[in-house]
C-alpha cells in the first residue's frame, strides 16, 4: 500500500496546526504528544470532520483533499473507520445490530472484514445479543473498534481509545489491539499521550508539539533520539523487536535474540513459540553501565555496547547516554557522577546491565 501523505494547516483561535506527514501505508502510526499538541485536530482533518485552510490528503494513491484545486471529499465518502475515546454505541441496538449497521452500508464486493472475523479478532462473539448498557467499558470499546472495522475502511483512525478506561481495562484491550496490528492489513493512525501504549503498538511515531511535527520515523529510531523531548521523560526508553529462541520452564524465563543476530536477552515472561517475535521496551532508567562484564550479580542481562553520544538531562544530576548494541539503539539514564567515574566518551566500549524483571514485553 502506498504511503499516506497529509499536508495540513489549520488555525483556530491562538492555536495553529501546521504539519507535513508522510506515513507508512501499513501498520500502526502513532501521533504522540501532550494535550493541545494537535493530535485530534490531525485526525479530524484526515476524516474531513474539520476543513483545514491549506490541505492535501492522499491515502493509498487516492486524493481525498486538495485545497489548491478546491477539491474536498466529504466525510461520509471517505473510507475511514473512526474510534473515539468513548465507544458511542447505538443504545437501542444490540451488539449485533451495532456491528451490522456499518457492515450493511458497504457493498458486498468491497467488504474486507465480516462480522464473524471481527468478533473473533476482538473477542466479542459472546456479547452479540447484549445491549450497550450492559457492557463494561472495555467490552464497549472492543465493540466500537469492531464496528469501525466492519465499515471496511482504507484507514482506521483511533483517537485515544483507551483514555476513558482504567488500568485493568486497558490491560484487557491491549492484546486485542496487538492482534489487529498482526492480522489485519488496514493502516492505523493511533493518537495517544501514553508512551507505554505507543511503544507497545506503534511501528511509526510522529512527535507533535504545539501543532508541529518535531520528528517522524520508525519507532525504534525515534524513541532513541537524544535531541527529542521523548528522551527526557520518566518513561524514556527504546523498543526492540526480538526473536524467541527458547524458554526455561523451571524459571519461567524467555530467551530473546536482538535484531541483527545480536546477543540474547532473558525476560520473565510466559512461553511463546520459538521463532515468533516479541516487542520489548527497555527503559533508560533500568539500564546500568559497567567497564567490565560482572557475572557475579543477580542481573541476568549483560550486553556489550558502545557509547554513541552523551547529553545532559533535565534533571541536573542525570545524564542521558545513547548506546549501540549489535546495530540496535539503547538508552541509559545515569548520574553525572557515574558518568564521570566511568569516563564516558563516544566510541567507548562498555557493558550494559538490565534486570530481567525490568523488561516490559
Question: Is residue 361 in some structural domain?
Answer: no
Cα 358 → chain centroid:
20
- Do 227 and 261 lie in one domain? The reply is no
Residue 260 pLDDT > 80, yes or no?
yes
Q: 142 with 124: CB under 8 angstroms?
A: yes
Specify the pLDDT at position 171: 85
Residue 323's domain comprises 237-355
Same domain flag for 195 and 224? yes
Q: Residue 1 — very low, low, confident or very high, per pLDDT cuts 50/70/90? A: low
Give residue-wise pLDDT tens across range 9-27: 999 888 999 999 999 999 9
In this structure, what CATH number is given to the domain that contains residue 131? 3.40.50.300
Q: Is the pLDDT of residue 184 over 90?
A: no
The pLDDT of 254-267, averaged and rounded, is 92
Kindly tell me if the per-residue pLDDT of 265 is higher than 80.
yes
Residue 360 forms part of a structural domain: no
- For residues 203 and 285, membership in a common domain is answered with no
With beta carbons less than 8 A apart as the criterion, state whether 304 and 351 touch. Answer: yes
Domain final residue, candidates 232, 261, 289:
232
Q: Residues 25, 152: one domain?
A: yes
Co-location of 148 and 292 in the same domain: no
pLDDT band, very low/low/confident/very high, at 245 (cuts 50, 70, 90)? very high
Q: What secondary structure letter does DSSP report for 232?
A: G
Average pLDDT over residues 119-138: 93
Strand 349-354 versus strand 301-312 pairing type: antiparallel
pTM of the full predicted structure?
0.89
pLDDT bucket at 57, cuts 50 / 70 / 90: very high
284-306 burial, b for 16+ CB within 10 Å, e for fewer? bebbbbeeeeeeeeeebbbbebb
Residues 165 and 244 in one domain: no
**335 and 254 within one domain:** yes
Statement: residue 66 has pLDDT above 80: yes
| Pick from 172, 361, 171: nearest CA to 276 | 361
Do 70 and 180 belong to one domain? yes
Residue 181, pLDDT above cutoff 70: yes
What's the whole-number average pLDDT of the chain?
92
Residue 267 has pLDDT above 80, yes or no: yes
Q: Once rounded to an integer, what is the mean pLDDT over residues 82-109?
A: 89
Q: Is residue 328 part of a domain?
A: yes
Angstrom CA distances, 86 to 83, 140, 158, stand at 8, 8, 11
Shared domain check, 189 and 325: no
Percent of the chain with pLDDT over 90: 71
Domain boundary among 232, 258, 278: 232
The total of structural domains in the chain comes to 2
Show which of 197, 214, 232 is a domain's final residue: 232
Contact predicate 198/32, CB 8 Å: yes
Q: Which one has a higher pLDDT value, 234 or 207?
A: 207
Q: Which CA distances in Å does 36 have to 6, 41, 48, 161, 328? A: 19, 9, 19, 17, 33
Amino acid at each position: 500500500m502506498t504511503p499516506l501523505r497529509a499536508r495540513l494547516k489549520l488555525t483556530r483561535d491562538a492555536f495553529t496546526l501546521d504539519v507535513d506527514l508522510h506515513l507508512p501505508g501499513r501498520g500502526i502510526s502513532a501521533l504522540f504528544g501532550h494535550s493541545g499538541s494537535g493530535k485530534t485536530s490531525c485526525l479530524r482533518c484526515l476524516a474531513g470532520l474539520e476543513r483545514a485552510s491549506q490541505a492535501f490528503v492522499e491515502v493509498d494513491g487516492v486524493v481525498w483533499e486538495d485545497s489548491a484545486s478546491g477539491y474536498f471529499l466529504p466525510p461520509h465518502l471517505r473510507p475511514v473507520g473512526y474510534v473515539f475515546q468513548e465507544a458511542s454505541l447505538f443504545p437501542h441496538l444490540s451488539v449485533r445490530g451495532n456491528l451490522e449497521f456499518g457492515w450493511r452500508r458497504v457493498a458486498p464486493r468491497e467488504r474486507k472484514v465480516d462480522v464473524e472475523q471481527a468478533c473473533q479478532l476482538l473477542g466479542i462473539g459472546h456479547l452479540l445479543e447484549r445491549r450497550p448498557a450492559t457492557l463494561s467499558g472495555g467490552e464497549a470499546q472492543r465493540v466500537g473498534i469492531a464496528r469501525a472495522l466492519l465499515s471496511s475502511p482504507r484507514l482506521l483512525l483511533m483517537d485515544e481509545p483507551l483514555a476513558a478506561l482504567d488500568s485493568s481495562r486497558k490491560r484487557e484491550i491491549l492484546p486485542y489491539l496487538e492482534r489487529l496490528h498482526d492480522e489485519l492489513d488496514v493502516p492505523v493512525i493511533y493518537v495517544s499521550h501514553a508512551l507505554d501504549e505507543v511503544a507497545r503498538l506503534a511501528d511509526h511515531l510522529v512527535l507533535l508539539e504545539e501543532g508541529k511535527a518535531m520528528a517522524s520515523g520508525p519507532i525504534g529510531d525515534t524513541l532513541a533520539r537524544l535531541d527529542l523531548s521523548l528522551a527526557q521523560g520518566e518513561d524514556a526508553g527504546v523498543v526492540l523487536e526480538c526473536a524467541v529462541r527458547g524458554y526455561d520452564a523451571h524459571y519461567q524465563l524467555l530467551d530473546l535474540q536482538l535484531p541483527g543476530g545480536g546477543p540474547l536477552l532473558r525476560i520473565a515472561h510466559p512461553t511463546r513459540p520459538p521463532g515468533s517475535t516479541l516487542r520489548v521496551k527497555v527503559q533508560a532508567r533500568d539500564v546500568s553501565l559497567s567497564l567490565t562484564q560482572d557475572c557475579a550479580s543477580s542481573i541476568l542481562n549483560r550486553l556489550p555496547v558502545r557509547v554513541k553520544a552523551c547529553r545532559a538531562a533535565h534533571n541536573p544530576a542525570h545524564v542521558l547516554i545513547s548506546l549501540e548494541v549489535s546495530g540496535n539503539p539503547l538508552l541509559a539514564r545515569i548520574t553525572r557522577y557515574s558518568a564521570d567515574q566511568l569516563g564516558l566518551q563516544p566510541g567507548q566500549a562498555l557493558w550494559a546491565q538490565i534486570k530481567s524483571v525490568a523488561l516490559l514485553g
